A and B are shown apart, each in its own frame.
Chain A
């Protein structure tokens, strides 16, 4: 579903290596949690996967399509929820979803069916025809999610998706992520919230200073610590790397 082979990113201006020889392979039906401290390279990795920035070296394949060779086709398989707000906040929720559906070439009948289901699920019906600028942070995140799922992407990528969501919406999002994977799709998301990763992920990867320092199931990471928690695993591994 998603394959990164020896991917690196060096920012030309600073010369710093934000991501260093990263390789990972995400299977169908899998939820992958991407963990790491601030500045570890999580967002850079996600930006490379979504085609926003270009890797300095390495290969990224989405559903078997090399994103550098055929970016439009690769991106068609991705639904991306960024960590920043929707910038088109003068559009209404409906207009934003219409825009996303048009860009992804969703059939109007399918679009209607999916948006009805998602809008009702996130309880956004009352605000759907209001401008996004009037939405709360959580509502903006919800409309962001609806826009990203309107084309039922094979790979759903989320950058810090739980930020600003109320417990009910966070629960709804987690359920949606699981259901998405149960249909044979995959989810790749970054988070700081280790409990979310612990409960939700089939596999996690820990990145620090641009390098993937650990990867495996939550149990495998826990096994590397004395008290058997993901938090200890995370802290031990990143501290070892820092030394």
Chain B
């Protein structure tokens, strides 16, 4: 493949190399940190579920359980491959220059899809390898288990890419019917993401009954595992290779015969997936890129029309800057998905947690407080929009410094937008929690200190981003993913969950009859501290920090 190496090498260098003298940590450091976080999470989950896997193996369902792992890995990959696939293939800034070069579009396409596959593969292995090792050791599996599970999970991103490529078609087509296709694409993806996670968590918590009992997990999983043999036959073939099962989907053939048939089925499925992923994405690639490039011309014309409309309305500078922030966020699918995708999940979490904890009688009145603390902490930690608001400006950042607008108005606009968006979803989550836990309607008032906390922590998030904005991105995904500016605020915010739960616990000890209101009061106290510390710094030091960035 002529020029493949040159193109692939340039794509890799552009994605991972740090700017010399640039600000912030390199993408590789960010990836290592993210891997450690996800790896640790995976390890924890593995230890919780390993006993259930061991029980399944003893019951002869080890193959189906392994199949389930590969299946879940594939589904997770579909979700997480969709945005990188769409943005890397169709929205990269270098599409134009590469199209002008004497390089076959199939070469560029293969280089890009290999890049998407390798990034997906990396995160898949980070998530799955700890699980495979823990399950294998716990259930005393043979070497075949480690080998085949790693192999199938490594090929799972290809199966996911087929689905992602197919899903990309209706999403892009649907988007093309509307003027602001970026917005429609973003909304479609966020809805898809929410439905997936909603279904996933609903299933997970329904299976559990009560939190994390391995017997309950296995008890709930067993009928699922027994029922997947035919619907998920290709995955079951993969799972059964890993446990050296004497069974195929077609019957018992003894270990050697069944292994040969299962390996053949699995390899055939993977080969078809690789071919289909390349064929579908390849077929769409040139058309998709042309569609995006030509749309840029149309967008410019639309922008002119909008400029006229905007000037006619004579809006205030603050509202103009807020509107600009929202439009630039929503019209870029990668930005919208990564910054807003977690917001509906907050509501999903609230619903699922409320059902789960309200059923746990041992928690009593503490149930609402626990859910409240969790969704408040999550609301502030999910605010990726605030954490990347300056980074996402990219080269346009310097335009902000040149426009005749007080830079404090720009900061205020961003601060209001991200506090407001998170607060809206938080309020919905809060109302859902009150309703599902059948708590007093007065508890909705608890949203007020929560919203104050969101405003305070949003200011902190923006300060972190302003300290070292990563302005030199090529694909939008680079700006919002692999970005350490989102990690530190996220950890701090997650720590807040513990602090806030502590407030409710304190209430139970000090004033049991009013423990929830003590918890709200405690949240308000934390919110006031965050507002008093971060908001003045953001508004007073922020303009100087912006001026210092060159």
Contacts and interface: CB of A to CB of B under 8 A. Distances in A.
A130 B294 CA distance: 34
B17 interface: yes
Nearest to A130: B20
A11 B297 contact: yes
Given A78-B100, A130-B20, A14 B293 contact: no
A87 B474 contact: yes
B3 A103 contact: yes
A72 B3 CA distance: 12
B270 to A, nearest CB: 32
B14 A51 contact: no
B298 A11 contact: yes
A51 B298 contact: no
Given A52-B293, A131-B19, A131-B20, A90 B100 contact: no
Contacts of B19: 89-90, 131, 133-134
Nearest to A10: B294
A44 B293 CA distance: 11
Contact of A102 (B6, B13, B104, B294): B6
Interface stretch (B90-98, B146-154, B202-210, B376-384): B90-98
Given A12-B294, A16-B301, A99-B6, A91 B100 contact: no
B294 A11 contact: yes
A90 B297 contact: no
Contact of A13 (B96, B97, B104, B176): B176
A73 B102 contact: yes
A28 interface: no
Contact of B297 (A44, A50, A133): A44
Interface in A67-103: 71-73, 75-76, 78, 80, 82, 84, 86-91, 95, 99-100, 102-103
A54 interface: yes
B251 interface: no
Contacts of A104: 101-102
Q: What's the interface size class on B, roughly?
A: 20 to 34
A53 B294 contact: yes
Contacts of B6: 99, 102-103
Contacts of B474: 87-88
Interface string B466-501: 000000101000000000000000000000000000
A40 interface: no
Nearest to B22: A133
Contacts of A11: 294, 297-298
Interface string B267-300: 0000000000000000000000010011101100
Nearest to A85: B395
Contacts of B301: 14, 16
B10 interface: yes
A171 B17 CA distance: 35
A218 interface: no
Nearest to A95: B13
A91 B14 contact: yes
Given A13-B295, A134-B21, A91 B10 contact: yes
Interface residues of A, number: 38
A28 B267 CA distance: 56
A13 B178 CA distance: 10
A18 interface: yes
B14 A88 contact: yes
A83 to B, nearest CB: 10
B10 A52 contact: no
Contacts of B96: 47, 52, 82, 84
Contacts of A16: 298, 301
B10 A88 contact: yes
A75 B290 contact: no
A76 B282 CA distance: 23
A11 to B, nearest CB: 5
Interface string B4-21: 001101100110011111
A72 B97 contact: no
A14 B298 contact: yes
A224 to B, nearest CB: 30
A72 B104 CA distance: 7
A52 B103 CA distance: 12
A36 to B, nearest CB: 15
A32 to B, nearest CB: 18
B99 interface: yes
A90 B96 CA distance: 17
9 tightest Cβ-Cβ pairs between the two chains A and B:
A75-B102, A50-B100, A102-B6, A90-B17, A13-B298, A76-B102, A14-B298, A72-B102, A87-B94
16 contacts: A13-B176, A52-B96, A53-B293, A71-B102, A75-B100, A80-B100, A88-B14, A89-B19, A90-B18, A90-B19, A91-B10, A102-B6, A103-B102, A103-B103, A104-B101, A104-B102
Given A52-B293, A91-B13, A104-B102, 11 more contacts: A16-B301, A50-B99, A71-B102, A72-B103, A84-B96, A87-B14, A87-B94, A102-B3, A103-B3, A103-B102, A103-B103
